[in-house]
Amino acid sequence: MASFKITGGRRLSGELVPQGAKNEALQILCAVLLTKEPVTIHNIPNIRDVNQLIDLLGDMGVWVTKIGEGSYRFVASDVNLDYLDTPAYKSKAAALRGSVMLLGPMLARYKKGRIPRPGGDKIGRRRLDTHFLGFEKLGATFHFDGDFYRVEGEHLKGAYMLLDEASVTGTANVLMAAVMAEGTTTIYNAACEPYLQQLSKMLNRMGAKIAGVGSNMLIIEGVSELNGTDHTMLPDMIEIGSFIGMAAMTQSEVTIKNCQIPELGIIPDVFKRLGIQLEFRGDDIHIPSQELYQIDTFLDGGMMTVADSPWPGFTPDLLSIVLVTAIQASGTVLIHQKMFESRLFFVDKLIEMGAQIILCDPHRATVVGLGRQMQLRGIRMSSPDIRAGVSLLIAALSANGTSIIDNIEQIDRGYQHIDTRLNAIGAEIVRL
């Protein structure tokens, strides 16, 4: 198990280029199974979850060719379905939550698919009902034998469905199955995150007929086959938000390059409401060094609340970053994590470092900003999940003294060479 040793209290200065979007990559990579023709994808992040999925596709018989930094060509002309019955497939697919999105493409093209119970972050219950209810609406049958989820459907037919939740992965999975179903499919209460928009645009370039892209109602006219395409992924909005919070906490002057600002939704506005100055320079975001930043209040003077909700609301993946950034702000903010009940439990480590945080219940935490009146102190801690891990890293970078973060494999799952990139702009992070 690897660890980071962080010497805190250093101000950073320089430029950072965000990696490709992790959550988009997991969808886009599964979609290569929908065609026998070559699919070329650019700006793929070099992170553990994505690399594991690429390896899994290769083991399934997809020809994978690296053609440049972050660019791969995939040819799924001869997929070996027998591999799905092997212990190796069970082990590899179970280690990766994104593997669940292999089911939609396999069902569409091969009329059947199976995955073991998927892994991923331990952030609370993450049910898969939306996926399988959607497949059943299309005419597939679903079975779970305790080890494997299996779907089969010889004749998928379009249907109207109202999803029980606006699940990002659920919408993506059902969408990929529906593009090759007979007739018209309407998916209402669909997730509409930029990742879904990117997937829909890619599928349309491959010959799919998807209308309503960017809305919560997708209308799909089924086609018999799809073609190859080229696709370039968005920069990772979660990494961009993480860098904004890091710059504010460490009083650093940082420029984040090529952010595709129109795709960030309300993310910049939420950080501005924490009092953080952001300057848009073309498609770059410049964060000047700030001694103090003041948390806003509501118009009636009420305490600011930051809560997650489906897009175009604020993404739950950045609530941990907002929470840690608020530690050195002036003012008070309530963080309300609605979607996962175990994502705030890392705050005990922040409290041990000196933060003033009240964990109200599994979903809510109140942060009373220190306003730079006291510096956090370095401690030893462990990363429980990807986003909490980076939040602890931000806290450690701002702290007085040395911190050790164990279980950094969790951070590596979502952030590409984070230590090397931050060291290049003045951080002192040693990988042990």
Is-catalytic flag, 121? yes
Under 8 Å between Cβ of 8 and 200:
no
CB 396, CB 350: distance < 8 Å = no
Residue written as token pair 């089924």: 222
Q: Are 258 and 292 in contact (CB under 8 A)?
A: no
- Residue 233 is assigned to a ligand binding site: no
- Tell me: is residue 189 an annotated ligand-binding position: no
Options 49, 121, 236, 308, the catalytic residue: 121
**Which of 313, 307, 298 has its CA nearest to residue 337?**
307
Q: What is the rounded distance in angstroms from the CA atom of residue 354 to the CA atom of residue 406?
A: 19
* Residue 353 CB-density burial (10 A; 0-12 exposed, 13-18 middle, 19+ buried): buried
Closest to 287 in 3D by CA, of 259, 263, 313: 259
- CA torsion angle for 302, 306, 388, 374 (degrees, to 10)? -30
Phi/psi at 423 (nearest 5 deg)?
Answer: -60, -30
Angle at 313 between CA 312 and CA 315, to 5 degrees: 105
Q: Is residue 407 part of an annotated ligand binding site?
A: no
Q: Is 23 annotated as a binding residue?
A: yes
The letter for the amino acid at 281 is R
In angstroms, the Cα distances linking 238 to 21, 234, 243, 336, 414 are: 8, 11, 9, 18, 9
Q: Is 180 marked as binding a ligand? A: no
Binding site per annotation, positions: 22-23, 97, 317, 339
Binding site per annotation, positions for UDP-N-acetyl-alpha-D-glucosamine: 97, 317, 339
Binding site per annotation, positions for phosphoenolpyruvate: 22-23
Catalytic (active-site) positions: 121
